[in-house]
Structure 1
């Protein structure tokens, strides 16, 4: 059994590209569909009984009337135990109950789902509510989705944390929420379109019509990252998207503006916690049915 320690809110799991996939636990071999279906059915039944089993009231049906907010609840394993109708529509599910037992890895690209899972684990570990965290997600078609997410731990009748609940407001559907971030729209779009280049923070400040010091201060207030850190994270995020299908790590380094492979490897490891090659190997192991399972330890997420 091997262990991969991954920091900075990113973890490694099976799968690649933009297609969702089932998440396997531990070092289990791939099982025939006829064997897997009863297990999936049992998981859905367990998730359906989550609230009753923990002595918690089921979320109100009023959440189904929201037109700009995705509402959700998950157990400690990251499986959805509830979601509102907008969430169902977003993931093209025939019924709201179809989300039961699924995880974010069934709906998002692997690196994005891993990042969400790491955030969930942090909330459940600390018991601290996260309010209005800005998440910019690449939908895979070149369009960015801006979400303002709030998450809180779910406690059972004894007060033990048994899961996480929250909501994400889609800024595209609720323009009033994103108003304070409009001044950064031009620079964020510029970063997205010029990841292969050496991006100047001074130029980003000019795009936002601010002095460099004001831009850096206000940017960190809104995004909880300095502009330089944000650019680095976006470049690494793009590298995670490219690596699964890449034959050359050096080409990925060039495509994301890092230049040399050595510098790219150093920066990638500072964010993800492992090298680009180890990232590729972890994904390859997942596709072969040997994906690692995940748990949180200290300030890191570990895969074993």
Structure 2
């Protein structure tokens, strides 16, 4: 059957007509010379392709998976459509050349850069971990991140590529998630209230020390810092999308008062709420 597409382009999808399991064909052993010939053929074929229209485009069609690639200096060279949408950027021209510090609060950006340094220095072949990021509502949540080094033809590392995705149900059943999942949901739900981490730990049937240790293992930060990051990121959205005063935003995001809000906001973004709003509204 045909699905809708741009004028002049026909996108065809087919129903599965035979669900009978099939065995792969038996393959003849190939010689080293034949394998070498095909590797040269592949290299020649790759040289004919347009670099900006390569395999990374597939990630635009995989729901919930985000792709990026950066050069050695940390500048973004590629990003999937989903990733650009998370940063509210309409197209590639908005994100190319940006760094993690251009896009994220300093503490989050520094964690990403530290990972990249390990890959660029050859100290790791792959980085896989649970990383603090934000969901479509702008609230921090966990994502599974995989990063790999990018090599040139001489085998030298020239950058980093990676994917981010939300963990599936099976992965969420793993102990590392289960030990902090309930705490995360409480913080995400109640961050605007006068929430105490000791109360969160009790609600989860854990001691404060247990929750802190397990949170640190999962996210690399304490539950207290997760709560503050959640509040700051919620405040960022209100600064960008509303004309509420600092006192009103402080109240809506769970800060004691405007002074406390300004202190925590500046510590995690490097600027005051007023300066942040002024820069974003004059660009």
- Smaller-chain TM-score bracket: 0.5 to 0.7
Q: Deviations over 1:18-61 (max 9, x none)?
A: xxxxxxxxxxxxxxxxxxxxxxxxxxxxx94269xxxxxx6599
For the 8 Å contact 2:149–2:159, the answer to whether it is kept is: yes
What is aligned with 2:246?
249
Q: How does 1:1-304 map to 2 (within 5 A)?
A: 48-49=50-51, 69-75=65-71, 77-80=75-78, 103=95, 113-114=103-104, 121-124=113-116, 127=120, 130-140=127-137, 146-158=142-154, 161-171=157-167, 174-179=168-173, 180=175, 181-244=177-240, 245-286=242-283
* Preserved CA contact (<8 Å) 2:142 2:166: yes
**Residue segments in structure 1 that go unaligned for 5+ positions in a row:** 1-46, 52-57, 92-97, 106-110, 287-304
Distance 1:227 1:66, change over 3 A: same
Structure 2 gap ranges (5+): 1-48
Flag the structure with more relative contact order, 1 or 2, with Cα contacts below 8 A and sequence separation at least 6.
1
Separation in structure 2 between the aligned mates of residue 90 and residue 279 of structure 1, nearest angstrom: 21
RMSD (CA atoms): 4.1
Range with greater deviation from structure 2 (114-123 or 260-269): 114-123
Query: Aligned-pair distance for 1:78?
Result: 1.5
Deviations 1:145-185 (A, max 9, x none): 642112234232355554421122321xx222222313322
Gap change, CA 1:227 and 1:158, over 3 Å in 2: same
Aligned residues: 218
Q: Does the 8 Å CA contact 2:84/2:91 hold for their aligned counterparts?
A: no
- Seen in structure 2, the aligned counterparts of structure 1 residues 143 and 258 have a Cα distance that, compared at 3 Å, is closer
Deviation at 1:231, TM superposition (A): 0.8
Give the deviation of 1:124 after TM superposition.
4.5
The Cα offsets for residues 196-220 of structure 1, whole Å up to 9 and x where unpaired, read as 2221111111222212221111111
Partners of 2:83 and 2:216 in 1: how far apart?
33
Q: CA deviation at 1:67?
A: 7.5
* 8 Å CA contact retained: 1:137, 1:145: yes
Question: Which secondary structure does the structure 2 equivalent of 1:79 belong to?
Answer: strand
Q: SS where residue 151 of structure 1 aligns? A: strand
TM-score, normalising length: structure 2? 0.61
Corresponding residue number in structure 1 for 2:19: none
Cα distance between partner residues in 1 of 2:259 and 2:135:
27
